[in-house]
Chain A
Amino acid sequence: MCISWWCAGVGKSCLLLQFTDKRFQPVHDLTIGVEFGARMITIDGKQIKLQIWDTAGQESFRSITRSYYRGAAGALLVYDITRRDTFNHLTTWLEDARQHSNSNMVIMLIGNKSDLEARREVKKEEGEAFAREHGLIFMETSAKTAANVEEAFINTAKEIYQKIQDGVFDINNEANGIKIGPQHSPASQSMPSGGGGGSQGGNCC
C-alpha cells in the first residue's frame, strides 16, 4: 500500500508514523525517495501484514516513487484540507495513478489535518463529492490527534481483503502487491502488502 500525493508536506509521513508507531511527530525528516512502514493488523480473524510505502512528495522523486506504485494493492491519496492547491489536482493525480498502477488498486482519498478546522480551505463535502464521483473511499484524518488514522488504513486493507475474497486480485501474482504468508514471515495467513515486485515487476512500463 502506498501513500501518495504530489505535494510535499501534506502529512503523509506523519500519517504513517501515527499508524505504525501511534505517535505524532510534528517535525519529521522530509522524505527522500521512498520510506517504509509496516504493521500487523487482523481482519476477519486473519493476521495481515500491511507494508506501506511512504513516497516523497516532490516531483523530482517521481520517477523513483512511481516505480513503487506498480506493485501496490492499495493507495492512500492524501491532501491537506488547509491547502486548496493540494486538493485541486486530485483528478490529474488519479488519472496518473490509475494509468500507472494495477487497475484494481484500492484507492482511499484522505483529507488530512482535520484538527486544523480553523484553517480549513477544503470542505468535507467537496472531498466526499470527489470520492463519490471517482469511486474512492473517503475519510478525513488527523495525524496529530490520530482521528480516523487507524480506520483509514484498516478500511483500505479491508477493501483489499474483500477484493481478494472476491477473486479480483490474483494472489499468486506478486505484481498485485499481495503475498501469501508465511514462507518467510511471521505467522500470517494472508498478507496484502505494499508494493510487491518493486521496480522490477511487471512489464516495466
Chain B
Amino acid sequence: MAEKKCSCGCCCNSGKTKEYNVSGDEKQCTLADLPVGTKATIVKIMPQARGSKKFADVGIVPGSELLIEAHAPFGGLIRVKVMETSMAIHKDEAANIVMEEDSNIITEKDKD
C-alpha cells in the first residue's frame, strides 16, 4: 500500500487539492476521506452525528481501530472492519467520525 501523507501527517488522500472536512482541527480527517486499506483510530464522533448510539453498539466508539476495506462501486457506502466485523456505513455519517491514522500499524501489517 503506497503511503501518501499530507503535510499535517494525517491520512488525507493526497495528490489533488487537499480537503479538510473538520473545521478548526487540522490534524485529523474523517472516515469519509480515508483511502481503502488504511488503518485508523477513531478520535471522536462529532456531536451533530446522527445514530451515534447505534454506532456505539457495534463498536464504533472513540478509541476503536478501523480498517477501511472497500468503497462501494457506485459510491455512497464505505466498508470498514471494526472489532473483526465488516460494517457498511454511509459517507454522510462517516463524515462525522473523526479519525487519526496509525502509520506504524499500516507499515507493519502490509509487509506480509
| Interaction A to B | no
